[in-house]
Amino acid sequence: MKKVGETREHVFFLWWLLTTLHFLSGCSESTSLLSTEARSSLPGVKLIKQKQQLVVDNSVVRVSLSKDGFVVGISYNGIDNVLPAHHDYIDRGYWDLVWNEPGGISNFERITGIKFSVVSENDDQVELSFFKEWTLSVTGSSVPMNIDKRYIFRKGDSGFYMYGIFERTEGMPAVEVDQIRVVFKLREDRFHYMAISDSRQRIMPSTKDRSTGHCQPLAYPEAVLLTSPSNPALKGEVDDKYQYSCENKDNTVHGWISDSPAPVGFWMITPSNEFRNGGPIKQDLTSHVGPIALNMFVSTHYAGKEVTMAFQQGETYKKVFGPVFVYLNSALPNSQDSVSKELWTDAKNQMSKEVQRWPYDFPQTRDYFPPNERGTISGQLLVQDRYIKRIRYQYADSAYVGLALPGEAGSWQRESKGYQFWTQADNKGYFTIKNVVPGDYNLYAWVPGIIGDYRYNATITITPGGFIKLGSLTYIPPRNGPTIWEIGIPDRSAAEFYVPDPYPTLINRLYRANSKERFRQYGLWERYADLYKKNDLVYNVGVSDYSKDWFFEHVPRKIGYNTYNPTTWQIAFHFPKVARSGNYTLRIALASAVDSELQVRVNDPKSIQPEFTTGEIGGDSAIARHGVHGLHWLFNIDVPSDRFFKGKNSIYLTPTKARTPFLGVMYDYIRLEKPPSPRTL
Ligand SMILES: *[C@@H]1O[C@H](CO)[C@@H](O)[C@H](O)[C@H]1NC(C)=O
Ligand SMILES: *[C@@H]1O[C@H](CO)[C@@H](O)[C@H](O)[C@H]1NC(C)=O
């Protein structure tokens, strides 16, 4: 196959053009800052159909695609191809998915277009379609979905858009889809610096550094200790792609920067989360060693199989994933520091521009809803908890408010098929959710600092161009009686608890001692037994401080090679007197559960029957994957007053499963309430 941009003249012209434009537009910054005049003076977008491949050239980027819709080359800023030309053509820029027939084995499939067509072709825009149609003859070997991979190239853009239309029709068999994503592999000789956020940027190890002889494998294949990396500065660090995960709401731009002399940035920009599964705080992968840049649309990461997209036999479906923007920028040669800063800042600016432009008006399909076909909903959320505020209401300050497919309160975190639209309310609980795709939804919310999940008790029907004003809504969080004590903050995360220092021999330098993201360090689960050598954690209400005395994950204790024992934590407290009748309420909110069963005992740690058990729950793997939460769980436990004594009392918590070091739970918040007094009923 002919390689992309082999014409030296072309490459040189591009470089000359861009350099000249830098100076013409009076800035030494990146190409995205081309003025409108400079853009309009550029030649139009050209589609060149070659025998083996398609080439689209908008004079800023030149992209080559195979006829089945794989991105095989991206030529930019004098670099012939930012993708690794020595990789097989299906292993550079591609879509893939992981699926299984119910009960069957898991399949990995790269999405291969069978039918190529030009959707639009003019000076301003070229849109291409690569369509995979499912037929009975591919049962078992290809996911039962029709998939249309689309690419959009626009005049003057320093990059291109990608989106996919996923459809199921009657007659398709049942399926579970665990993952849908876009992958780009970049040239390893050029891209060494990765940037995910303002504070998460670093020079990365190479693929070879992770191979036998250069590293030491750790507890699972994703994590290695770099023993002889090609860059000696990285020696002694841990590499694990899960250390670079991010919540959906923050996963808007990430990517890589190449070395001088021609510094280039390659970025994944995701202007909206509406198509991702699991809501705004679901976590997922970003970029990692390869160099690889991912765009995860659907996954079970940090959630488990319970969030798979499950379709019944014959169940129909249609959803558009994307568009997302693959953005390239460049800087003049300079020190790594200043180049990285310049390109990262510019990538963030570009991300903001894409967010402003969302929803786009240019995709050529009726399946994507343009701005004028979307609706808006607004309102104000109040909280009524008579034991927090004596006044009747408080504002749902900074509440997360969202629309997702109809379901129970909190169901959005396991919802993987529909669109979701989220916003954060202001300090008075006012919210406006714009650009909602028409359809039926429930309105959901949770409020940082307030326990539980809100759901508005009516189906919301969004119509094209419609504006629904809900007025004031009131969330009445779970509450039976006044708080006796509480541990933590109800915010769906264990971050406020004690996160230990990592082993000095197992660090990632990105997450220094004072970093808010220290929980991303490898091996913290083993630190529990270092700190609680013989006796398990005891939390004395009124004396202990949860930020120091409550370990952020409740894990088993290692007692020998590959042998672990469950651990039991004790919450000790003092009752001056006990209510004569009625139930106390123990509320346990979990930030994560990993193949666990949490048993709760009251005052008798040895009792055969626990007071309460969660049953077997969870598979979010947040412990091994350095999360500080996975899926959220809330258990409300009635404890009859005759279980308590005047004086000292204890509640014992035991995650009973201890097969591996990564099983257990993370707590979000625990509260004990008095029985309701007749006066307040
Ligand atoms: C919620 O809606 C259902 C059905 O319309 C109704 O029976 C119920 O009383 C409502 N609950 C509240 C709290 O308004
Ligand atoms: C106490 O809790 C138990 C178990 O949930 C329940 O059956 C009982 O009715 C409750 N008692 C009172 C007084 O609420």
Asked if residues 580 and 558 have their Cβ atoms less than 8 Å apart, the reply is no
Which residue's alpha carbon is nearest to atom 6 within ligand 2?
638
Among residues 385, 397, 406, the alpha carbon closest in space to that of 456 is found at 406
Place of tokens 């320093």: 158
Which residues pair with residue 400 across a beta bridge? 424, 446
User: Is 582's C-beta closer than 6 angstroms to any atom of ligand 2?
Assistant: yes
- Residue 348, by phi and psi: left (phi above 0), alpha (psi -120 to 50) or beta? alpha
- Check if 638 has its Cβ closer than 6 Å to any atom of ligand 2: yes
pTM over 0.85: yes
The structure tokens listed for 262 are: 């021609």
d(CA 599, CA 615): 8
- Beta strands at 53-57 and 46-49: parallel, antiparallel or unpaired: antiparallel
Amino acid letter, residue 73:
G
What integer is the mean pLDDT of 395-423?
Answer: 98
Q: Which numbered atom of ligand 2 lies nearest the CA of 583?
A: 1
CA pair distance 246, 249, nearest whole angstrom: 8
Q: How long is the chain?
A: 681
Measured from the Cα of 582, ligand 2's closest atom is 13
Ligand 2 neighbourhood includes 614 CB (under 6 angstroms): no
**What are residue 565's DSSP bridge partners?**
557
> Does 17 score more than 50 pLDDT?
no
Cβ-in-10-Å burial (0-12, 13-18, 19+) of 52 comes to exposed
Cβ(583) – ligand 2 distance below 6 Å? yes
Q: Compute the mean pLDDT over every residue in the chain, rounded to the nearest whole number.
A: 93
Tokens matching residue 648: 């000292």
Q: Is the confidence at residue 6, as pLDDT, over 90?
A: no
pLDDT tens-digit series, residues 132-158? 999 999 999 999 999 999 999 999 999
Pocket test for ligand 2, best of 587, 638, 674, 681 (most atoms within 8 A of CB): 638
Ligand located closest to 675 CA? 2
- Using one digit for the tens of pLDDT, what is the confidence trace for 263-316? 999 999 999 999 999 999 999 999 999 999 999 999 999 999 999 999 999 999
* CA 600/CA 588 separation, integer angstroms: 10
The string of pLDDT tens digits covering residues 340-392 is 999 999 999 999 999 999 999 999 999 999 999 999 999 999 999 988 766 78
Give 178 Cα–ligand 2 centroid separation in angstroms.
Answer: 41
Q: How confident is the model at residue 43 (pLDDT cuts 50, 70, 90)?
A: confident
Question: Over the stretch 167-226, which tens digit does the pLDDT of each residue have?
Answer: 999 999 999 999 999 999 999 999 999 999 999 999 999 999 999 999 999 999 999 999
Residue with tokens 């169901």: 411
**Nearest ligand (C-alpha, residue 456):** 1
| Closest to 187 measured CA to CA, from 84, 278, 322, 260 | 84
Task: State the pLDDT confidence band at 12, using cuts at 50, 70 and 90.
Answer: very low
pLDDT of 453 over the 70 cut: yes
Other C-beta atoms within 10 Å of 360: how many? 18
Q: What is the pLDDT of residue 178?
A: 98
Q: Give Cα separations from 118 to 1, 132, 149, 158 (angstroms).
A: 22, 15, 12, 21
- Residue 584 Cα to ligand 2 midpoint, Å, equals 9
Identify the pLDDT of residue 643: 97
- Which pLDDT tens digit goes with each residue over 550-566? 999 999 999 988 899 99
Distance CA 60, CA 77 (A): 8
**How many A from CA of 582 to the centre of ligand 2?**
7
Query: Which amino acid does the sequence have at 299?
Result: S
**Which residues are within 8 A (CB) of 201 and not within 5 positions of it... i.e. 6 or more apart?**
193, 194, 195, 340, 344
Q: How far apart are alpha carbons 347 and 150 in whole angstroms?
A: 23
| Domains of the chain and any CATH numbers | 10-357 (2.70.98.10), 371-475 (2.60.40.1120), 483-680 (2.60.120.260)
Which residues on adjacent β-strands are paired with residue 117? 129
Q: Atom 3 in ligand 2: which residue has the minimum CA distance?
A: 638
Residues 413-440 have pLDDT tens digits of 999 999 999 999 999 999 999 999 999 9
CA distances from 206 to 192, 395, 554, 646 (A): 8, 49, 34, 62
CA distance 254 to 244: 10
Confidence grade of residue 467 (pLDDT, cut at 50, 70, 90):
very high
**Number of neighbours of residue 387 by Cβ within 10 angstroms:** 14
- The Å distance, Cα 387 to ligand 1 centre, comes to 24
In the reported structure, the alpha carbon of residue 2 is separated from the centroid of ligand 2 by a whole-number distance in angstroms of 75
The per-residue pLDDT for 3 is 38
CA 479 vs CA 449, 476, 602, 634: distances in Å: 14, 8, 21, 13
The per-residue pLDDT for 390 is 66
User: CA–CA separation, 416 vs 408, rounded Å?
Assistant: 14
pLDDT at position 367 is 97
List of E strands, 38-186: 46-49, 53-57, 61-66, 71-76, 93-100, 107-110, 115-121, 125-132, 146-154, 159-168, 175-185
Q: Name the closest ligand to CA 586.
A: 2
Atom number of ligand 2 nearest to Cα 640? 1
Of the candidates 104, 67, 61, 106, the residue with the CA atom closest to the CA atom of residue 89: 67
Cα 457 to ligand 1 centroid, rounded to whole Å:
6
- What is the percent of the chain with per-residue pLDDT over 90, rounded to a whole number? 89
Choice from 480, 581, 583 to test ligand 2 binding pocket (greatest atom count within 8 A of CB) = 583
Give the residue, by CA position, lying nearest to ligand 2 atom 2. 638
Point out the ligand nearest to the CA of residue 458: 1
Say how many Å lie between the CA of residue 476 and the centre of ligand 1: 14
